[in-house]
């Protein structure tokens, strides 16, 4: 794949203005994880490499339209256009587009191929563990939320409010990522990252209560 460097540059440019949770560095981490899992699970690494590099290429359109455009669908269209220019064969393009279309957990599209499952896992794994902690505190800071709000009824908290904290994101969403991972290697990594994050919030709550 002599054009992979050029694809990296295209994606880097596309992602330079998006929120730090989905920036080029996120794509790089997802790519690294996908390659690691892909080797162990014996996936088609060419499909996986291109799918992971291009998976969030439609992000800018979703952010600019405040969520009206689904970045997974837009990204799949953009990926097809880019890959056709480089002369990739139609079968591979279809496989890559399937991975990109199904990587978004809120959409009701199910990853069916091994490569799509690995991309899904890699993308979700980047939201937990040490990097997950970094991402949720960074996001809370970005929207001006508090550092911590143990004791608040999290179900009553509105998104993007002062109480939309890292703690809320963990309790309501990220705690469940672990149970939605498809591949065996993904599950092994998810278990470790989940336990690390659980331990972090246990400790944070003890510190807040003056116990540590
Ligand atoms: Fe995405
Ligand atoms: Fe992503």
Cα distance between residue 55 and residue 28, in whole Å: 11
Q: Each residue of 151-163: b (16+ CB within 10 Å) or e?
A: eeebeebeeeeeb
Summarize pLDDT for 159-200 with one digit per residue, the tens.
999 999 999 999 999 999 999 999 999 999 999 999 999 999
Q: Are residues 93 and 133 in the same domain?
A: no
C-alpha 26 to ligand 2 mean position (Å): 7
C-alpha 7 to ligand 2 mean position (Å): 16
CA 81 to chain centre: 23
180 located within any domain: yes
Q: Are residues 149 and 198 in the same domain?
A: yes
pLDDT band with cut points at 50, 70 and 90 for residue 32: very high
CA dihedral of residues 173, 167, 67, 96 (deg, nearest 10): -50
Pick the range with the lowest mean pLDDT from 64-68, 97-101, 112-116, 147-151: 64-68
137 located within any domain: yes
Q: Are residues 103 and 152 in the same domain?
A: no
Summarize pLDDT for 37-63 with one digit per residue, the tens.
999 999 999 999 999 999 999 999 998
Q: What was the pLDDT predicted at 18?
A: 79
105: CATH: 1.10.3210.10
115 located within any domain: no
Summarize pLDDT for 91-113 with one digit per residue, the tens.
999 999 999 999 997 778 999 99
As a whole number, the mean pLDDT across the chain is 95
Summarize pLDDT for 113-122 with one digit per residue, the tens.
999 999 999 9
C-alpha 27 to ligand 2 mean position (Å): 6
152 located within any domain: yes
C-alpha 105 to ligand 1 mean position (Å): 8
Query: Which ligand places an atom closest to the C-alpha of 119?
Result: 2
C-alpha 104 to ligand 1 mean position (Å): 6
Q: What angle do CA 149, 150, 155 make, to 5 degrees?
A: 85
C-alpha 31 to ligand 2 mean position (Å): 10
C-alpha 57 to ligand 1 mean position (Å): 8
Burial of 109 (0-12, 13-18, 19+ CB in 10 A): middle
pLDDT at residue 19 greater than cutoff 80: no
Pick the range with the lowest mean pLDDT from 26-35, 38-47, 65-74, 105-114: 105-114
Q: Which domain holds residue 212?
A: 127-212
Total domains present in the chain: 2
Q: What was the pLDDT predicted at 67?
A: 87
117 located within any domain: no
Query: Which ligand places an atom closest to the C-alpha of 33?
Result: 2
148 located within any domain: yes
Among 110, 137, 171, residue at a domain's last position = 110
């Amino acid at each position: 794949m002599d054009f992979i460097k050029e694809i990296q540059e295209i994606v880097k440019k596309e992602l330079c203005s998006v929120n730090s949770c989905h920036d080029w560095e996120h794509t790089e981490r997802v790519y690294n994880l996908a390659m690691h899992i892909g080797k162990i699970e014996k996936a088609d690494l060419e499909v996986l490499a291109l799918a992971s590099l291009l998976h969030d290429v439609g992000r800018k359109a979703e952010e600019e339209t405040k969520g009206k455009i689904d970045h997974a669908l837009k990204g799949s269209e953009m990926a097809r256009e880019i890959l056709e220019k480089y002369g990739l064969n139609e079968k591979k393009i279809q496989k890559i587009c399937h991975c990109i279309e199904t990587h978004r957990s809120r959409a009701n599209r199910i990853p069916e191929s091994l490569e799509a499952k690995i991309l899904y896992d890699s993308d979700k794994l980047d939201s937990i563990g040490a990097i997950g902690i970094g991402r949720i505190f960074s996001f809370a800071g970005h929207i001006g939320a508090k550092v911590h709000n143990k004791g608040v009824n999290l179900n009553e908290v509105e998104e993007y409010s002062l109480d939309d904290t890292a703690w809320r994101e963990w309790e309501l969403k990220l705690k469940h990522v672990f149970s939605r991972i498809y591949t065996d290697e993904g599950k092994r990594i998810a278990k470790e990252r989940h336990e690390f994050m659980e331990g972090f919030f246990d400790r944070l709550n003890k510190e807040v209560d003056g116990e540590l």
